[in-house]
Amino acid sequence: MANPDAPAMSANITSADWIRERLSPWNSYLVSAIIPSGFEAYVRILHPVQEPRDGVSLVRWADVSRWSGVQVHPRVQWHDVALPETIPVSKPPWRGQGPRQGTLFISDAEALIDDLTHFTSSTEDCFFCLWIGYFGGGAALVPLGSPPVLIPAPPQPPALVVFPTREYGLFEGALSQATSLGIRSGHDPQTPNLWWSADHSWCVASEIDQPWTYVGGSSDLIARLLADERLETVSASPDDAYWMKFDGWLSDLIEHATDEVLSIGSVTLPLATGNVSVQWKSSKWRRNGMITTRSERSGGWGSSNSPVRTRNPDEIRRQITFEIQRAMLSSVGG
């Protein structure tokens, strides 16, 4: 449903050309492939692990860090703090899916807007991009036997901002309207995936698959964001890597687990949030086997089956490693 207070949908797609010109190639795996290079400084806003609802308080990465004993540092990733090497005696301080990806928590967005206001020459002249995947239709759940209820699809963009790996609908409006987009993802409010001021003094990027948001701007703006106690922030650089990476003991654990699966066909990993099990059954028939994973965590579990479609030993090893990584992330809601 359209929001009358939302910024207006726009066909002024050339307004995003400056961003495209300053983005690194996606396969560079750099932060500058997500947010434009050329700003004096950058910051990363960590999305809350759990938003307050149903009587549950807001949980930040720092709360999980205190539980796990793993420090929050500038290059930290969610699984670093959520999967400590030594299993804590207490239960994890969060439940559910972990940090939301691709959108800011609304209170964080409001704090960010407040800070950006002091560094924007015209707060009435801003642009907002929303990933085209959020413009789809949907259907409501109804009692068994009832006729289906169709939810009308939202208005479609008159033109798209097209980047090498993403397409966006474009909106124009006041900075204060960044939290009022007329599109919702599921039942939760969705903030823009990419937004900037007409004077190009700053840019905000919430990549759809990441549990944090990047901001680029002047050194003074970034210093203000790092000092803002309403936000959970760490410094960033356009030359940082953006991809999911497992380091240290987690990397060793995954390598040894892969060896065990290849050797005896299965492995079970006891982690701080529950057990992860991986099984590989090879086959001599049509398909070359199946990898089955199961992730357990407080309040539930999940499983998946992935067919192996190659006989190349290196490719099989890579796929087993990938499935172990994915199961571990699932165990912490990543």
Measured in whole angstroms, the distance separating CA 136 from the mean position of its chain's CA atoms is: 20
Percent of the chain with pLDDT over 70: 90
Q: How many CB atoms lie within 10 A of CB 119?
A: 18
User: Band of the pLDDT at 299, cuts 50, 70, 90?
Assistant: low
* Angle, CA 220 vertex, CA 219 and CA 224 arms, to 5°: 115
Pairing relationship of beta strands 138-140 and 194-197 according to DSSP bridges: unpaired
pLDDT at 271: 92
pLDDT, one tens digit per residue, over 167-210 is 999 999 999 999 987 665 445 678 999 999 999 999 999 999 99
pTM of the model as a whole: 0.89
How many angstroms separate the CA atoms of 61 and 50, rounded? 9
Lowest mean pLDDT: which of 14-18, 37-41, 60-64, 155-159? 155-159
Query: Is the pLDDT at 139 greater than 60, yes or no?
Result: no
How many angstroms separate the CA atoms of 220 and 231, rounded? 16
How many angstroms separate the CA atoms of 85 and 65, rounded? 13
* Domain extents in the chain: 8-47+100-236, 248-331
How many angstroms separate the CA atoms of 60 and 47, rounded? 8
Q: Say if CB 244 and CB 232 are below 8 A apart.
A: no
